[in-house]
Chains A and B, each alone.
Chain A
C-alpha cells in the first residue's frame, strides 16, 4: 500500500547540512500497523512525513498503491492527502473550533455536503467514545480526549492510511494505553492501515505488527513483532531494545 524506495533527505540549518534520511526503504501492507522506531533524531518523523510529502525527499520514490506520488501536481497531491489521515504528538487541534467543528474540517476540505458532514461527525465521535464532548472546545479536554478528537478528525474522510507521529508521547501511562487501544480498535474494526513513528516500547509491544529501526537517518533493520516482542539481530538493535 505504501512503499518507500530508497529516499534521502537533507536539511540545511544554520549553514550546516543535516542528513536526516539516507537511502531509506520500507513497505507497509494494507491492514498493517507499521512502526518506525529509533532514538531521538534518528529520522522517524521525517520518514513518516515523507509518506504524505509534508517532507519532500530529495531523491528516491514514494509509492502509494503503486503510484509514485512525487510527480503529482499540487492539486493531485491535495486530493491524495484527503485520503491520508494524520495525528501528532501535540494533537494540533484548532483551539477556536469545537470538537465537532474540528472533526468537520477535513470533510469541509473534501467538499462534503452539510448534512453528510453532520452525520459523519456523529459517527466519528461514537468511534472514539466522545459523543458527550461534541460542543466542547479543545481547551476543556484532557490530553487523552484531545488525541481521541484528533483521531476522529483524522479518520473522518475514510482515509486509506493513518500516519501517527509520536501519538502517545505527550500522555501519561494510563492515557497512553487508552489511545493505543483506540488505534488497535480502529485497525481491527475498519481494517485501517496505520504507520506510527515512536520511540516507546509500549507502542511497539501493544500495537505494531512490524517495525523498522532507524539509526542516524538510515534503517538498521526491519523486524516482525511476535507476541509483543521483537528480536533484533544487529548489535545496535539489541542495545536499543535493552535500553527501553
Chain B
C-alpha cells in the first residue's frame, strides 16, 4: 500500500499541478471577466445606474446560453477556440479555455446576485455625494457586497474543481482524470479512493477558508 503510493507520488504530483494550473487560469479569468460582466448586468438592470434593458437582454441571454450547455459539450464545442488561444486542444492550459468560459458565465450571475443585495439607500447616499459611477462601483457596491462576493468566489472554486475533473475527458489531466484512469480503467481502487478523498478534503478546505474570510469581512 505505502509502496504503491510512493511509486504513485510523481503522478499524483503532476496531476495536482495540472489541476492547479486549470484552477489558476480559470479562476483568474472568471474573476476578472465574470466580475466585470456581473457588475454590468447589475448596472444595466431596471432602476439601476446604467439602465439598459437591451444590453442586459443580450449579454444576460448569452450568459444563460453558456450556462445551459452541459459542461462536457461546452468543452468539445470550445475546442477550436482553445486551439486558437492555447495553440493546442489537449493539456491543462487548453482545458482552461472552456473552464474559463463556463466560470465567467457562472461567476457573473453570482456577482450580479451579490450586488442586488446591497441596500439601495447606500448607493443613493453615494449618488447624493456626487460620486462617479466608478467610485460607486469600487467604493460602495463591491465593498458592501464583499462578504457575499467571497462566498460566491468560494462556490466558484468548488465548481471549478469538479469541472476541472471533467476536463480530463479532453486530456486536460488533473486529479479527476487521475481518479478515472486508475480507478475506472485499471481497477486500482485504492488510488481512486485516495484521489477522491483528497478532492473531498480539498473542497472542505476551500469552503472553510471561504466561510472564514466572509465572516471576517462581514461587519453588518
Contacts and interface: CB of A to CB of B under 8 A. Distances in A.
B68 interface: no
Contacts of A80: 130
Interface in A82-134: 82, 84-86, 88, 90-97, 105-106, 108-110
A108 B128 contact: no
B130 A94 contact: no
B121 A88 contact: yes
Given A96-B143, A109-B126, A157-B129, 14 more contacts: A84-B128, A86-B129, A88-B121, A92-B119, A92-B121, A92-B125, A93-B125, A94-B144, A95-B219, A105-B126, A105-B129, A106-B129, A106-B130, A137-B219
A52 B130 CA distance: 10
Contact of B129 (A77, A95, A109): A109
A54 B124 contact: yes
Residue in A52, A79, A95, A137 with the greatest tally of chain B CB atoms within 10 Å: A95
Residue in B122, B128, B132 with the greatest tally of chain A CB atoms within 10 Å: B128
A96 B146 contact: yes
Interface residues of A, number: 30
Contact of A81 (B121, B127, B140): B127
A78 interface: yes
A226 interface: no
B135 interface: yes
Given A106-B129, A109-B129, A92 B122 contact: yes
A96 B144 contact: yes
Interface in A62-80: 77-80
A93 B129 contact: no
A54 B128 contact: yes
B130 A79 contact: yes
A18 interface: no
Contacts of A94: 122, 140, 143-144
B143 A86 contact: no
B97 to A, nearest CB: 35
Residue in B129, B130, B140 with the greatest tally of chain A CB atoms within 10 Å: B129
B131 interface: yes
A98 to B, nearest CB: 8
A96 B144 CA distance: 6
Interface string A10-26: 00000000000000000
Nearest to B120: A92
Residue in A81, A96, A105, A139 with the greatest tally of chain B CB atoms within 10 Å: A96
Interface residues on B, range: 20 to 34
Nearest to A82: B130
Given A80-B130, A95-B144, A105 B219 contact: no
Given A95-B144, A139-B220, A105 B139 contact: yes
A85 B130 CA distance: 10
Contacts of B135: 108-109
- Interface pairs A-B: 6 shortest CB-CB: A81-B130, A92-B121, A82-B130, A137-B219, A92-B125, A86-B128
B147 to A, nearest CB: 8
A93 B121 CA distance: 8
Given A105-B139, A139-B219, A93 B130 contact: no
Contact of A88 (B125, B139, B146): B125
A88 B220 CA distance: 18
30 contacts: A52-B128, A54-B124, A78-B130, A78-B131, A81-B127, A81-B128, A81-B129, A81-B130, A82-B130, A85-B128, A86-B125, A86-B128, A86-B129, A92-B119, A92-B121, A94-B143, A94-B144, A95-B122, A95-B219, A96-B144, A96-B146, A96-B217, A96-B219, A105-B131, A106-B129, A109-B126, A109-B131, A109-B135, A110-B130, A139-B219
Given A108-B139, A109-B135, A95 B220 contact: yes
A90 B128 contact: no
Interface in A205-239: none
Given A97-B143, A137-B219, A92 B124 contact: yes
